[in-house]
Amino acid sequence: MSSPDRLVYMANQIGMFFKSQGHDKAVPGIADHIKKFWDPRMKRAIFAHLDAGGAGLEPNVLEALTSLKQTISLPAAP
């Protein structure tokens, strides 16, 4: 994942599915999906991107990732 672009794209794609369920369902839905299906290095990379301002992330996705980052602890990078 040399560039975060692909991860941002994937995260926004997930966001797009949940969008029609409304903000209150979408944010936890997105966070849960990424928590369940993304490998730790993907999570670390998207969190790093988030720390760098999270350019390109849709609002719901940005919010979901921000809350997810606070709730999970990832193993350290090798």
Q: Which stretch binds other proteins (CB under 8 A): 46-54, 61-69, 70-78?
A: 70-78
Our finding on whether 71 is near other proteins (CB under 8 A) is no
> DSSP character for 3?
S
Our finding on whether 68 is near other proteins (CB under 8 A) is no
Contacts of residue 21, Cβ cutoff 8 Å, sequence gap at least 6: 29
Among 4, 8, 10, 46, binds other proteins (CB under 8 A): 10
Span 17-56, contacts to other proteins by CB under 8 A: 17, 19-21, 33, 36-42
Least distance in Å: CB of 33 to other proteins?
A: 7
Q: How far is CA 54 from CA 4, 20, 21, 39, 46, in A?
A: 10, 22, 23, 19, 8
